[in-house]
């Protein structure tokens, strides 16, 4: 391992070891409290532009494999862990986490006090940082960080979104030939607006009986309206994704065109936030966000355990246009809404992540039923 140096915008400076790629990387540092699923977390496109600090101290012990990736590659700025295990043991493993990070030029940082970092983020909030295996000077790192754009200055969905439309046919834990059976489909196609969609979201949409077409973030709202009115599609899904939703002015403008056309719409995470903005209710940034796999959410008196990954929330006064259906029991932020007099609903958490024991995967079936009942 080689040395790596970290500088946080609050002035904190660390020396640690690197198990990933060499180089210099800038991003926003957040922490994730999940005990398992580090590969799925690292390959979630929503982490583009962020350093992921794992509170779970031992990372790497089950290696990695191609089937557990949530996207084609990791988009995060770096990975920070207390102890990295190069020797992995799992019958599904195909390689080490270190090799995956090196392959995709992602910095891996270990042998550092992640508990101290997490407590700092809880007290001071998420912040920008820089990590380098090349620069050891605190002053030089601080200067380079100050000159770098902040996460809210970058439209990351242009980086992570697909460049060409495609059809997704695989279901959850099922290869294409088993999951995609045209005779079992609802004969209703939904279009997924890819802002950084996780693969398992697409799997769950297929499992619910929908045909799934994924299109780039450079979509046209008018084209989608025309396709719906022609009966070619039965609904639209807005995906998760990275960055500050308030930077997505062009994309939100296209979403706004869909709102009064009676098109069934379902959204998760960033898509949930974009729907709020499109209705005239701007999002706000949380102190350190919600990132983990054990967040309790109340759904009309029923407590569900959810996976979370977001730094932004929709405002409380959205109840003027939507029924609030889900509330986070950690901080009382809004986790789900259903818009009044419209076939539109959304959730902030990630029902596809299946954290157990009482989950939220039913929302995919609700969307499928809505689509099947559409014109």
- CATH code, 292: 3.40.50.880
Mean pLDDT score, 16-32: 97
Residue 54 sits in a domain of what CATH number? 3.50.30.20
User: Is residue 131 located within the same domain as residue 168?
Assistant: no
User: Is residue 268 located within the same domain as residue 175?
Assistant: yes
User: Is residue 188 located within the same domain as residue 78?
Assistant: no
| Structural domain boundaries, residue 21 | 2-152
Q: Is 75 designated active site? A: no
In angstroms, the CA 211 to CA 265 distance is: 15
User: Is residue 253 located within the same domain as residue 296?
Assistant: yes
In angstroms, the CA 42 to CA 52 distance is: 8
In order of 111, 117, 296, the CA distances from 120 in angstroms are 17, 5, 23
Residue 5: the pLDDT is 98
Mean pLDDT score, 283-291: 96
Residue 374: the pLDDT is 81
User: Is residue 65 located within the same domain as residue 204?
Assistant: no
Considering the candidates 40, 304, 335, 352, report the single residue annotated as catalytic: 352
The overall average pLDDT reported for the chain is: 94
Residue 171: the pLDDT is 84
Confidence band of 188 (pLDDT split at 50, 70, 90): confident
Residue 346: the pLDDT is 98
User: Is residue 99 located within the same domain as residue 191?
Assistant: no
Confidence band of 353 (pLDDT split at 50, 70, 90): confident
Residue 183: the pLDDT is 55
Mean pLDDT score, 317-345: 97
Q: Is 352 designated active site? A: yes
Q: Is 350 designated active site? A: yes
Residue 14: the pLDDT is 98
Give residue for tokens 């025309």: 226
Percent of the chain with pLDDT over 90: 90
- 107-123 pLDDT tens trace: 999 999 999 999 999 99
In angstroms, the CA 304 to CA 294 distance is: 9
- 219-265 pLDDT tens trace: 999 999 999 999 999 999 999 999 999 999 999 999 999 999 999 99
- 49-79 pLDDT tens trace: 999 999 999 999 999 999 999 999 999 999 9
Residue 180: the pLDDT is 57
Question: Given phi > 0 = left and psi -120 to 50 = alpha, else beta, which region is 264?
Answer: beta
Final residue before a domain boundary, out of 121, 152, 183: 152
User: Is residue 18 located within the same domain as residue 119?
Assistant: yes
User: Is residue 52 located within the same domain as residue 189?
Assistant: no
* pLDDT of 313 above 70: yes
* pLDDT of 191 above 70: yes
Residue 355: the pLDDT is 75
Final residue before a domain boundary, out of 102, 126, 152: 152
User: Is residue 50 located within the same domain as residue 189?
Assistant: no
DSSP 3-state helix, strand, coil percentages of the chain (rounded to 5)? 30, 30, 40
Considering the candidates 204, 269, 279, 335, report the single residue annotated as catalytic: 269
Strand boundaries in the chain, DSSP class E: 2-8, 13-18, 24-32, 50-54, 58-59, 78-80, 83-84, 107-110, 127-132, 166-168, 189-193, 211-215, 235-238, 265-268, 284-299, 302-313, 322-328, 334-339, 344-347
User: Is residue 98 located within the same domain as residue 162?
Assistant: no
**3 state DSSP class of 30:** strand
pTM above 0.75, yes or no: yes
CA 260 vs. chain centroid, Å, equals 27
User: Is residue 207 located within the same domain as residue 105?
Assistant: no
CA angle 335, 337, 340 (to 5 degrees): 170
Residue 373: the pLDDT is 87
Residue 360: the pLDDT is 86
Final residue before a domain boundary, out of 112, 136, 152: 152
């Amino acid at each position: 391992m080689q040395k790596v140096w970290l500088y946080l915008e609050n002035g904190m400076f660390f020396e640690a070891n690197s198990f990933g790629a060499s180089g210099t990387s800038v991003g926003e540092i957040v922490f994730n409290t999940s005990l398992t699923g580090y590969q799925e977390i690292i390959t979630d496109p929503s982490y583009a532009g962020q350093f992921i600090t794992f509170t779970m101290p031992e990372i790497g012990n089950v290696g990695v494999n191609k089937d557990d990736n949530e996207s084609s590659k990791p988009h995060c700025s770096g990975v920070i862990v207390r102890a990295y295990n190069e020797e992995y043991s799992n019958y599904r493993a195909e390689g080490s986490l270190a090799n995956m990070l090196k392959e995709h030029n992602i910095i891996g940082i270990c042998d550092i006090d992640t508990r101290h970092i997490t407590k700092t983020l809880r007290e001071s909030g998420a912040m920008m940082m820089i990590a380098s295996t090349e620069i050891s000077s605190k002053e030089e790192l601080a200067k380079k960080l100050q000159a770098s754009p902040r996460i809210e200055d970058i439209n990351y969905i242009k980086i992570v979104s697909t460049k060409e439309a495609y059809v997704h046919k695989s279901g959850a834990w099922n290869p294409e030939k088993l999951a995609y059976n045209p005779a079992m489909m609802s004969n209703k196609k939904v279009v997924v607006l890819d802002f950084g969609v996780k693969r398992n979201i697409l799997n769950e949409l297929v499992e619910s009986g929908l045909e799934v077409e994924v299109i780039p973030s450079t979509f046209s709202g008018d084209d989608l309206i025309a396709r719906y009115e022609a009966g070619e599609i039965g609904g639209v899904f807005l995906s998760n994704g990275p960055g500050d939703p308030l930077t997505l002015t062009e994309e939100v403008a296209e979403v706004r065109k869909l709102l009064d056309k009676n098109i069934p719409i379902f959204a998760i995470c960033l898509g949930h936030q974009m729907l709020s903005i499109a209705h005239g209710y701007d999002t706000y940034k949380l102190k350190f966000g919600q990132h983990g796999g054990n967040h309790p959410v109340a759904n009309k008196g029923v407590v569900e355990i959810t996976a979370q990954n977001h730094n932004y929330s929709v405002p409380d006064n959205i109840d003027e246009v939507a029924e609030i259906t889900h509330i986070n029991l950690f901080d009382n932020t809004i986790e789900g809404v259903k818009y009044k007099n419209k076939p539109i609903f959304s959730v902030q958490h990630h029902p596809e992540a299946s954290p157990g024991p009482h989950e939220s995967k039913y929302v995919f079936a609700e969307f499928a039923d809505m689509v099947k009942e559409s014109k």
